[in-house]
Amino acid sequence: AQKVTQAQTEISVVEKEDVTLDCVYETRDTTYYLFWYKQPPSGELVFLIRRNSFDEQNEISGRYSWNFQKSTSSFNFTITASQVVDSAVYFCALRGRNQGAQKLVFGQGTRLTINP
Amino acid sequence: DSGVTQTPKHLITATGQRVTLRCSPRSGDLSVYWYQQSLDQGLQFLIQYYNGEERAKGNILERFSAQQFPDLHSELNLSSLELGDSALYFCASSADPDRGTDTQYFGPGTRLTVL
């Protein structure tokens, strides 16, 4: 069975601090896909990134960066120089490739609060 | 804006009633997914359709049913509603779930309150 664990329930930092959100996953699939979604206070789920299991390159997009390590089954998300607009609940998710495994399995989410 | 639309945005109803939630996928997307977000269960997968056919089921209650129509929009029907069904219901769509580059994009959700 697939499982995603986000051990940090809530994080609160002051603006401009760097913050890392942890994500650990479990799967028996050799091919799988990892995702991060953002849920701002307005409630919608916004796609941030997808990473394939065979691509361990880290990715940077502006102030956002992602560190994928298969050896530790982790896919962590770092926000550099955080801003108040980054306040949201962030979800890590996992899906398989085959039919029947294409649903997203979500972690419990990390509520991030950026204080001015 | 993800391109996925859901109606209604809010729904308040009473126990025992039946409601229908509607979802229109992004243009060109063949697959639709329904998820339920509640405080105690988090985000849970309910059901997936692909080009009109049911493809996968999660822990969807027997009181719940869904379908995807020829124009690819989908409806989720919830009947004999209970207080515990109060939640945010999301629809997501994706172009081709058999491809590794596939990504699910979510609609704004329907917030259901059962009184």
Q: Each residue of A39-56: pLDDT tens digit?
A: 999 999 999 999 999 988
pLDDT at residue B99, rounded to an integer:
82
| Range A85-99 average pLDDT | 93
DSSP at A31: S
Residue A37 forms contact with B (CB below 8 Å): yes
Q: Which of A43, A97, A104 sits opposite B104 (nearest CB)?
A: A104
pLDDT at residue B114, rounded to an integer:
98
Q: Report which of B89, B115, B90 is spatially closest to residue B104, judged by C-alpha positions.
A: B90
Tokens found for residue A65 = 């960066």
The mean pLDDT of chain A is: 95
Instruction: Quote the CA–CA distance of A34 and B52 in Å, as a whole number.
Output: 26
pLDDT at A97 over 90: no
pLDDT at A7 over 80: yes
Position A98 confidence tier, pLDDT thresholds 50, 70, 90: confident
Question: What are the 10-residue block averages of pLDDT along chain B, 115 residues in total?
Answer: 95 98 96 95 95 94 97 98 97 90 94 98
DSSP at B100: T
Largest CA distance in chain B: 42
> Quick check: helix, strand or coil at residue B34?
strand
CA distances, A9 to each of A3, B19, B80, B90 (Å): 16, 33, 33, 22
DSSP at A98: S
Q: Report which of B21, B17, B42 is spatially closest to residue B33, judged by C-alpha positions.
A: B21
pLDDT at residue B97, rounded to an integer:
87
State the nearest Cα–Cα gap between B40 and chain A, in angstroms: 10
Measured over the CA atoms of residue B108, residue B90, residue A88 and residue B85, the dihedral's sign is positive
Measured over the CA atoms of residue B20, residue B110, residue B35 and residue A97, the dihedral's sign is positive
pLDDT at A99 over 80: no
Contact B100 A47 (CB under 8 A): no
Helices and strands, counts by H and E, chain A: 0, 12
Q: Which residues of B touch A (CB under 8 A)?
A: 2, 31, 33, 35, 42-43, 45, 48, 55-56, 58, 88, 90, 92, 97-98, 100-109, 111
pLDDT at residue A19, rounded to an integer:
98
Q: Burial letters for B65-82: b for 16+ Cβ neighbours within 10 Å, e otherwise?
A: ebebeeebbbbbebeebe
- Chain B partners within 8 Å of A31 (Cβ): 100
* Closest Cα in chain B to A39: B108
State the nearest Cα–Cα gap between B79 and chain A, in angstroms: 24
Which residues lie across from B105 on neighbouring strands? B93
- Chain A partners within 8 Å of B100 (Cβ): 31, 33, 52, 97
Position A28 confidence tier, pLDDT thresholds 50, 70, 90: very high
pLDDT at residue A56, rounded to an integer:
84
